[in-house]
Amino acid sequence: MTQLQNEGDSVRRGRLLEPGMYDLNDLEVGDHFATSGMTVTETHIVNFAGVSGDMYDIHLDDVAAQQAGFPGRIAHGLLGLALTDGLKTRSPVRMSALATLSWNWSFRSPLLIGDRIQVEIEVVGKRVTKRVDRGIATLRLSVVNQRGTVVQDGETLLLMANRAW
């Protein structure tokens, strides 16, 4: 089933993927889906600071964050990326992923405690590798908060299983 959807000035063509497992052969450029959402908590930020060693004041001190022009503490950019990958991985739309090969990522807007994020994912490219049982999908991801603001976005290359015909 092909879906046509307006997105501002752009038009999206492609299938809205249903829950299930997809390998590279199952995907078409334009296929898309959205993950479930999750709320960013103070615990996420504190735990990420401990694991990463990034104790920068704007993540852990409301006054420092406000002095820097934010409404309060903000999440680490890389925490947002990690949560994005987790939402993609636990989605009912499953990719037969073998490995993530790269990220090309932008941090667009602060991610605040209490923000509820969801990830919109679109297949923008695919190719078979030298090994025909593997391929690489290029996925475009947009992380959107409850206000409809894109807080992070970019692309990832995903090494996937490919059914050899």
**pLDDT, tens digit (0-9, with 9 covering 90-100), for 142-155:** 999 999 999 999 99
Contact 11, 3 (CB under 8 A): no
Task: Record the tokens describing residue 158, joined without a space.
Answer: 């995903």
- DSSP-assigned letter for residue 141: E
Helices assigned H by DSSP within the chain: 42-52, 57-60, 62-67, 77-89
- The arithmetic mean of pLDDT across residues 135-146, rounded, is 98
- Predicted confidence (pLDDT) at residue 10 exceeds the cutoff of 60: no
- The arithmetic mean of pLDDT across residues 130-136, rounded, is 94
Rounded CA separation 63/57 (Å): 9
> What's the topology of domain 3-41+75-161?
Thiol Ester Dehydrase; Chain A (3.10.129)
Q: What does the mean pLDDT of the chain come to? A: 93
* pLDDT (0 to 100) of residue 163: 83
Contact 69, 112 (CB under 8 A): no
The angle subtended at Cα 105 by Cα 36 and Cα 79, nearest 5°, is 55
Rounded CA separation 24/163 (Å): 8
Domain ranges of the chain: 3-41+75-161
